[in-house]
Structures are given as C-alpha cells and as structure tokens.
A = this chain, B = another copy of it.
Amino acid sequence: MKTPTGDQALIKRMNTAIVLESVLQGAPLSRADISALTGLNKATVSSLVQDLIDSGLVREIGTGQSSGGRKPVLLEFVAESGYAVGVDLGVNYVRGVLTDLRGGVAVERTARLAKTSPDEVFGILRPFIQSLVDEAPESAFGVVGIGVGVPGLVDRGGAVLYAPNLGWRDVPLQDALNRAFGIPVLIDNEANVGAIGERKFGSGRGIGSMIYVSVGMGIGTGLILQKELYKGAAGFSGELGHLSIEASGPPCRCGNRGCWELYASEQALLARAAEAGIGEGTLDSLLALAEGGDEQARALFAGIGESLGVGVANIVNVFNPEAVVIGNTMSRARPWLEEAMSRTTEARALNFHLRGIRLLFAELGDRSAVMGAAETAIAAFFKRLRSA
C-alpha cells in the first residue's frame, strides 16, 4: 500500500506541472491566458508562474497586444535552461546530439565504430559523450541527462542483456555511464527510443497510440500505447520482429520459425537480391537500381513491402493503433515499398480496425533514435521536477 498519499505539496506540484505544460504547449501566452486555459485562479497562476520564473524554467518576453485593456505580459519556456544528450549506438557507428530542453539540436556528431566489444565501445563512447557534455552552454540546470539507444534487449535497470549484433551479453551500460558522468543515464532499446523520437518530433506528433517499426538488418518495434511507451513485465516487450507469420516457415536464430524479420528486413531483401544475382549486397546499390528503373529490383522491394504489410496487418489487428510508423534504414525505400505494403495491410487487416488508421514513414529518417534518446532524458528530467 505504498501509494503516495495526498497532501498540499502534491497539489502544488500538480498545478505547477499544469502551468508549465501550458507554457510549453501554448507559448507565448500570458498569466491570464493560463488561468483561462487551465481553470486555475488568476492568483494561483501568478504565484506558480513566479516560482517557475525564479527557478529559471520560464521567462517574461515583453508585452503583447491589448484587447481593450491592460497589455498582457507574455511568458515562454526557457528552452536553454538545461540541455540533454542523446546517443544512438549502432553496430558500426555512434551518433550523438546535444539538445536544449525543447529538443532543439545544439550539436550533432557521428563517429564510426570499428570494434564492438563492450570495453572498446565504452572507450569510444565515453569521450564522445564527454565532448557533447562539454559543449553545453552555461545554464540553470546544466546537462540534465543522457539517453542512449542500443540495438538489443535492455532490462529496467539499463543493462544490455543481449545484443547479438554487437556480441554483447549482460553489459551494465547504464551503471557504467552513470558512474562516468554523474548525470542520470537512461538506456533503452533502439526501437523504443526511435518510437519516442518519432512521436515527439517526427511523423507521430501528438498521436496517442502508435507502433514504430524499425526495419533495419532485423526488425524491432516500439509500442506507444495510451501515450506511453509500453514495456512488458520484465521491461522488454514488442519483439514483433519475432512474431511468427509462417508457423511452419524456416527456423529463426531466436528459436521460433517463420519470424516476420526473416521476410521483411533489410537482411531478407539482401538475401533475395543475392539469390536473384542483382545489386552489390547493399541496400544502397538496390535503391540505386530501383531508382534507375530496374524492374527486378523494384519487384524485390515490392515483395518486401508485401511482407511488411502482412506483419503490419497483424499489428493493426492486435493493437488497433492510430498509426504505424515505418522507420530505420528501410524507410528510405518508401517509394518502392509503400504501395505494396498499404495494399497488403488493407487486404488483410480487419475492416473496423483500418478506419482512420495511418500508415506512415519516419520523418526523422536515421535520426529517430538519437532524438528519441535525447527526449527520453528530457522527459525524465521533467518527471523529476514534477515529483520533487
């Protein structure tokens, strides 16, 4: 029964959060606007706004237009009152951003990753992150957190349990980075942070339930249900790449058979291309061929599109989401995939579930994950604010 009980401090925290939220959403706006918008009394708003100004999160930016009386004093959120670092750790690259608290990118940087052992990666990651932290301008809250997306299974404590493409098992990355920087660090799966990135900054802005499908060498998914990232009982869920779509299909390395990613990933595409003897074993070469009008290449992409559609239809039936967003490298093949994918999805999913659904592609391209990682850190900062 360790439910937090209600006291006056709770009320103040709640209302402060409401005020801050309205400034974040609706800036520039006046105290009177906030009062009208939230239903809070003018005096209450005044008092809470003063606290926010004192803490450096909000500032006055001069007066606005009068509507027949005293001019309002406009307020805005001080995005530069703090900064966050987002990191996308790939199999052969590291991408990082330094953003302000609104997600505005101050610095962006990429490095190659030659070796992938935990120690070697950490050797590169540490100075990489340090340089981003060092570049943060002076601010009220400093660097409030570091978010990291990794291509693997991450537990609730931020340990990488299993990352086959990096060859990692049980790497306590969050602890290590926490110790190294003394700043809150949050590690999550690449698809999960990608989902957060697309929902906050990309094609899923404002959507309540959205499934992000990261189609790269494999398929990972991030589930946003009722506006929140859904994690399973143990903290990892959404391994939709290993949803079996052919129960009697070929075995997958995961132990199951006929997994979706065997049919619809970049790896599947490259395998089929190799069989057909076209391309040079890279997505780029096949994209170039398709672009150039090569029918065989286009047919290959259309086939992947159909396989994607089979899985997306399953997703639609299971989750009845508002949107499905296709991201990661395969999103670049949109022109050659989209029609086949939509057609297959529409043919296979339940009619009622298709009403109003949106099949989208990632707007942030290969930056979904970095931006989502930064947003993870920002969101955690706001959550700390709210509860203290």
Contact = CB atoms under 8 A, between A and B. Distances in A.
A243 to B, nearest CB: 5
Given A318-B243, A349-B256, A353-B234, A6 B1 contact: no
Contact of A40 (B5, B236, B237): B5
A384 interface: no
Given A15-B5, A244-B245, A255 B350 contact: yes
A38 interface: yes
Interface stretch (A66-74, A272-280, A284-292, A309-317): A309-317
A234 B348 contact: no
Contact of A242 (B237, B243, B247, B350): B350
A314 B252 CA distance: 14
Given A225-B230, A232-B320, A247-B310, A255 B347 contact: yes
Stoichiometry (number of copies): 2
A350 B254 contact: yes
Interface size class of A (residues with CB under 8 A): 35 or more
Given A15-B6, A244-B245, A318 B356 contact: no
A321 B233 CA distance: 5
A98 interface: no
A343 to B, nearest CB: 13
A348 B244 contact: yes
A37 B3 CA distance: 10
A250 to B, nearest CB: 13
Nearest to A260: B247
A174 interface: no
A93 interface: no
Contacts of A356: 233-234
A14 interface: yes
A1 B25 contact: yes
A238 B257 CA distance: 23
B352 A162 contact: yes
A138 interface: no
A206 interface: no
A211 to B, nearest CB: 10
Given A8-B8, A236-B353, 13 more contacts: A1-B37, A225-B225, A226-B230, A232-B321, A236-B352, A242-B350, A243-B243, A245-B246, A246-B246, A246-B247, A246-B248, A247-B310, A257-B348
17 contacts: A3-B38, A5-B40, A8-B11, A11-B11, A208-B233, A232-B321, A233-B357, A235-B320, A236-B320, A236-B352, A240-B317, A243-B318, A244-B245, A244-B314, A246-B248, A247-B307, A254-B350
